[in-house]
Amino acid sequence: MRTVANKWSKWSVLEKHAGVAKHLPESCLFQEQQLKSMLDRHPFVVAKPLVGSGGSGVVKIEKVDGKYRYQVQGKTAVANTWDELMSALVRIRKGRRYLLQQGIAVAPVHGRRVDYRVKLVKKDRRWVVTAVVAKLARSGFFVTNLCRGGTLWSASRALRHTFPKLAADKKKTMIGVARTCTALLEKRYPGIGELGYDFGIDRQGSVWLFEVNTRPQ
């Protein structure tokens, strides 16, 4: 079964489709100037390795009172200057290529960050939705991965907490976007047989696609 590890390769396929693009946060390959610009325009920015899983090396960065607060592996630190932040990111990145993504303030559950995983598997030449679940971050953590202390809920249960009257509608939107993306990705990468999509829903109810995995956990 084919896998596509590079996050940017998959992203480049999806952002060309207008119906999918409106669900994608602003994203680009890591560059110092791009990070500076994005921090001026968004509440926070997420930096993540181009290849990697389990939330390893994911950094949340925000500008606070002229300083830079960043969180990685549940630990928060403050860089007093831009150069200090850059030095910290060099240490965290360890020479790996990174992606920058617009941070989305999702509607939380009990104060914890939550995202949604929609999993599709190809069975008998048809794509089947095999799971729609919610992952709640460990208290104080940014990443929701279970290996980082996250908690698994059914998507419906989490959506009833955040959007009680729109739960079914939000679930339907995520599945619809995932199916469109699957058709696009299969056309570009024949041979893939399993896809996991990570979505977030902001406080206004907009659905955002954060990431696609070809070997979902």
- Three-state SS string over 28-80 comes to EECCHHHHHHHHHHCCCEEEEECCCCCCCCCEEEEEECCEEEEEECCEEEEEC
Q: According to the model, what pLDDT value does residue 73 have?
A: 81
Going by C-alpha positions, the residue among 179, 54, 34, 73 that lies closest to residue 121 is 179
Q: What does each of the 217 residues of the chain score in pLDDT, given as a tens digit?
A: 777 767 888 899 999 999 999 999 999 999 999 999 999 999 999 999 988 765 678 899 999 999 999 998 878 999 999 999 999 999 999 889 999 999 999 998 988 889 999 999 999 889 999 999 999 888 777 665 666 667 889 999 999 999 999 999 999 999 999 999 999 999 999 989 999 999 999 999 999 999 998 876 6
Residue 69 contacts residue 77 (beta carbons within 8 Å): yes
Q: According to the model, what pLDDT value does residue 154 have?
A: 92
Instruction: DSSP letter for 25, please.
Output: P
Q: According to the model, what pLDDT value does residue 120 have?
A: 97
Residue 85 contacts residue 101 (beta carbons within 8 Å): no
pTM of the model: 0.92
Full set of structural domains in the chain with CATH: 7-23+106-213 (3.30.470.20), 27-102 (3.30.1490)
Gap between the Cα atoms of 53 and 76, Å rounded: 21
Gap between the Cα atoms of 175 and 197, Å rounded: 9
Q: How far is CA 195 from CA 50, 96, 123, 150, in A?
A: 17, 24, 12, 20
Q: According to the model, what pLDDT value does residue 184 have?
A: 96
Tally DSSP H helices, then E strands, for the chain: 6, 11
Q: According to the model, what pLDDT value does residue 3 have?
A: 77
Q: According to the model, what pLDDT value does residue 145 have?
A: 66
97 backbone φψ class: left, alpha, beta (φ>0; ψ -120 to 50)? beta
Residue 71 contacts residue 60 (beta carbons within 8 Å): yes
Going by C-alpha positions, the residue among 166, 47, 161 that lies closest to residue 102 is 47
